[in-house]
Structure 1
Amino acid sequence: MKRKLIAAIGVAGMMVGLVACGSDDKGSDKGSESKGPDSYKGQTLTVWAMDGSTPDQWQADLTAEFEKTTGAKVKFEVQQWNGIQQKLTTSLSEENPPDVFEIGNTQTAAYAKTGGLADLGDLKKEIGGDWAENLNEASVIDGTQYAAPWYFANRVVLYNKSVFAEAGIAAPPKTRDEFYAALDKIKAKGKAEPIYLPGQNWYYFVGLTIGQGAELVKKDGDKWVSNLGDPKVAAAAELYKKLQSYSKAPKDKDEATPQQADIFAKGKTGAFIGMGWEAGTAIKANPAIEKEIGYFTIPGETADKPEGVFLGGSNLAVAEGSKKKELAKEFLKLALSDKFEGQLAKLNGVIPNKESLNTNLAGNPVAEAAAPSAKFGGTTPLIAEWAAVENAPNPIKTYLTAVLNGKSPADAAKQVEGEFNKRLSQKQ
């Protein structure tokens, strides 16, 4: 996670990690029925947040209001991405787990399965009535609210303004057909690669499946199995194949091999699909490219419905083993309030948990491009068994390369479904 680059361009990158740490105070909120100043006096709540998630001003303002409201102290402990999953797993099994912690939205199901997360159904009823349904989906496992949606990010189109202008493209495309037409113009001009799209940008592909209403897995009895053979998944693969035909990028590599932002930085590429923070990577490689970078929403079939996108992001959870669950919920009520949720969106350029707060993104070009897609976004399957699927070599990447090399989506699905199902059957 390139947080310094994020700050430079005013947008947070996709987050897929978690956070954790232990509490060290001796108090417990058991029996603290009254709310208000001094109701939790003498207690300290420990909050683990990932590096870069809590801007200094946000943290300072929230801390002051929390202490004024509850009489308790709050201690933020910043966690690093490297090794966080094992650290959190260990911490949740110990006597003094973190009270509140950040958790990746796609990892929430796995931690809920272990019994480490507290039920937040009462919190949802009290403050979550207008949380965006698709953003909250990853917090609900088997009908139970195990976390609360915090913030999100998704992919946009980053484009070279000069390349588009030289090809006679007056405004960013609003529909898929307009996008193809723009790329045709750049191709006809012959001076730049229309788009850089490697064959294995699989998170973009996940967005296409979401746009098609497809599911990547299905139930077979009591087991989850591959659903790559579904015609809706095939339709998404065909969309990917058409857009990739405008690119010279390798069909058997992902967006990090090489870094697509480094390719774009050379100034000979019309566009690429990526996270907003990748602009910072391009600027680092070639500072002169900064003035050329523009952003637009990934176009869908019609102008009023952008393409589906994968929503990476973070939820906030309370440890089942915390001795301060009620105090933790008081913290969440403040952290997730319109005041602090809106402030976080403004400072970090991330998508907030309710659409009404998107006004806080005004003036941030990356966030403004990302926001329209958010309500049409989703995630990878929200099952604990999914984690093994993403391990290298990811069978979905293999599937995409096979399609791009000429196999039908149906045959490509058959090629990888054995490995796909093997991973889904691995015990967590």
Structure 2
Amino acid sequence: MKIRILAGAVALVSSVALSGCGYLPGAGAGSSTVTVWLMKGSTSQGFLDRFKESYEDEHPSVELEFILQEWGGIGPKVMKALEGDDAPDVIEVGNTQVAQYAESGELRDLTLESMRELGGEDWLPGLAEPGKVNGGQYGIPWYAANRVVIYNKDIFAQAGITELPRTREQWVDISERLNTSGRQGIYLAGQNWYVLAGFIWDEGGELADDSGGDWEGALDSPAALRGMDFYRTLQALGGGPEDADEQSPPETDVFAEGDVAQIISVPGSAALIEQGNPELRGKLGYFPIPGKSAKRPGSVFTGGSDLIVPENADQRSEGIEVVKALAGEKWQTELARTMSYVPNKPALARVVEGEEGTSAMAEGATEGRATPNSPHWPAVEADNPIKPYMTAVLEGGDPAEEAKKASDRITSKLITG
């Protein structure tokens, strides 16, 4: 499934919007045309124009054709292409979608290319791990984004807070100080399960695991229960609804009202906040979600895209070369600066230094993770048992009992799809 934080907030606030679906005409005829499916909103027209011109100059016998796709309904469309006789040569997919496509047996294993020429051992784990299935690297990391804490600098200053928290303990202490009459220390909706996932991972737990050979829900483990307990502590330091997610109402709208000190969201959400309340321009700050110790930030859910190459692509070899270029340092740098994304390697975080929100996101990305790498995980998200579990606990239900029920539902979906 494509990650909501990119399909929603980040795509909406991208600095340059893509203008419709279609192909980019080539500058000249080449002996081979490499067809690349990219998702609408993932990058700008300007980036694609620059990449196309540069690549075709360096490869005179190649013409690039970019076809922009909508995220809605993309899964069946990709599966049909993979199983047909007219597959594109490169496809951008959500990082958590790779497993279900690899299960079809119709993807090219790019392990040799990724390790030998792209330095795959240095990729962000939240992008690289979902692209690795049964020991083969089928998805090549392209870009990433993850949540950070967005805070109101004026409210922090009024409360006398001059140092940003580096640990959970400091974070809770600050949020308690900020949570006063008429002001929310933090706005956290009760069903923001992506945030909960990070807390569970920090404790050493999982949403689901396959340690026994088959995928099973794992919300009822002691570690996962500790993660939910921390979520409950933090969520109580504001007025977020216990029975809704971050879109009901949109957390950016709530923050824009001016009496919320913090939210947990992607940096791109700042544009929506400022749109709702222009008086907040220049008053928003960012810091990585704090971890259990100051040695490293908290775990975060990594959203983003990988690039795949269909086994039956007409220009498969040329498609692999295009993937290498898009995932290499030159164009990773260009993409990160153009779109305020996190590059696919922590070592490239320097290219977004000076951009406060993106820098905080890049720091947090070093502790990034993805959802369980099961081809049936999309079925879990389609009718998500984690959300009602969270609400039940926040409303006073027994955590262990509610976690067991939710875990059983997850197990059932991972078995049957």
What TM-score do you get using the length of structure 1 for normalisation? 0.88
Q: Deviations over 1:245-271 (max 9, x none)?
A: 102111111000110110000001111
Letter in 1 for 2:88: P
CA distance in 2, matches of 1:177, 1:227: 25
Match of 1:384 among 375, 378, 400: 375
Instruction: Name 2:74's counterpart in structure 1.
Output: 84
Letter in 2 for 1:97: A
Measured after TM superposition, the shift of residue 197 of structure 1 is: 0.6
Q: 1:154 to 1:4 in 2, by over 3 A?
A: closer
Preserved contact between residue 22 and residue 99 of structure 1 (Cα < 8 Å): no
Measured after TM superposition, the shift of residue 407 of structure 1 is: 2.8
SS at match of 1:223: coil
User: Does residue 1:63 correspond to 2:49, yes or no?
Assistant: no
Instruction: Give the stretch that moved more between structures: 155-164 or 402-411.
Output: 402-411
Task: Report 1:397-412 matches (<5 A).
Answer: 397-412=387-402
CA distance in 1, matches of 2:211, 2:167: 37
Task: Report 1:341-380 matches (<5 A).
Answer: 341-380=332-371
Preserved contact between residue 62 and residue 334 of structure 1 (Cα < 8 Å): no
Paired positions, count? 403
Q: 1:395 to 1:375 in 2, by over 3 A?
A: same
Q: 1:117 to 1:365 in 2, by over 3 A?
A: same
Preserved contact between residue 118 and residue 324 of structure 2 (Cα < 8 Å): no
Instruction: Name 1:141's counterpart in structure 2.
Output: 133
CA distance in 1, matches of 2:167, 2:416: 41
Letter in 1 for 2:177: K
CA distance in 2, matches of 1:313, 1:4: 11
Task: Report 1:262-281 matches (<5 A).
Answer: 262-281=253-272
Task: Report 1:150-161 matches (<5 A).
Answer: 150-161=142-153
Match of 1:45 among 21, 34, 53: 34
Letter in 1 for 2:173: A
Measured after TM superposition, the shift of residue 2 of structure 1 is: 4.6
CA distance in 2, matches of 1:128, 1:321: 23
Measured after TM superposition, the shift of residue 222 of structure 1 is: 5.2
User: Does residue 1:111 correspond to 2:118, yes or no?
Assistant: no
Preserved contact between residue 14 and residue 41 of structure 2 (Cα < 8 Å): no
Q: 1:94 to 1:213 in 2, by over 3 A?
A: same
Preserved contact between residue 23 and residue 45 of structure 1 (Cα < 8 Å): no
Instruction: Name 1:299's counterpart in structure 2.
Output: 290
SS at match of 1:384: coil
Instruction: Name 1:168's counterpart in structure 2.
Output: 160
Instruction: Name 1:100's counterpart in structure 2.
Output: 90
Measured after TM superposition, the shift of residue 147 of structure 1 is: 1.6
Letter in 1 for 2:327: L
Q: 1:286 to 1:408 in 2, by over 3 A?
A: same
Task: Report 1:143-292 matches (<5 A).
Answer: 143-188=135-180, 190-219=181-210, 223-292=214-283
Measured after TM superposition, the shift of residue 93 of structure 1 is: 2.0
SS at match of 1:109: helix
Any unmatched runs of 5+ in structure 2?
A: 1-7
Q: 1:23 to 1:388 in 2, by over 3 A?
A: farther
Identity of aligned residues (%): 35
SS at match of 2:163: coil
Preserved contact between residue 124 and residue 346 of structure 2 (Cα < 8 Å): no
Letter in 1 for 2:408: G
Preserved contact between residue 23 and residue 68 of structure 2 (Cα < 8 Å): no
Any unmatched runs of 5+ in structure 1?
A: 13-19, 26-37
SS at match of 1:87: helix
What TM-score do you get using the length of structure 2 for normalisation? 0.91
Preserved contact between residue 24 and residue 96 of structure 1 (Cα < 8 Å): no
Q: Deviations over 1:96-141 (max 9, x none)?
A: 1111010100010000001231111221132232432513111110
Instruction: Name 1:6's counterpart in structure 2.
Output: 13
Instruction: Name 1:325's counterpart in structure 2.
Output: 316
Q: Deviations over 1:343-378 (max 9, x none)?
A: 111111111111111111112221111111111110
Provide the alpha-carbon RMSD of the alignment.
Answer: 2.5
CA distance in 2, matches of 1:133, 1:81: 23
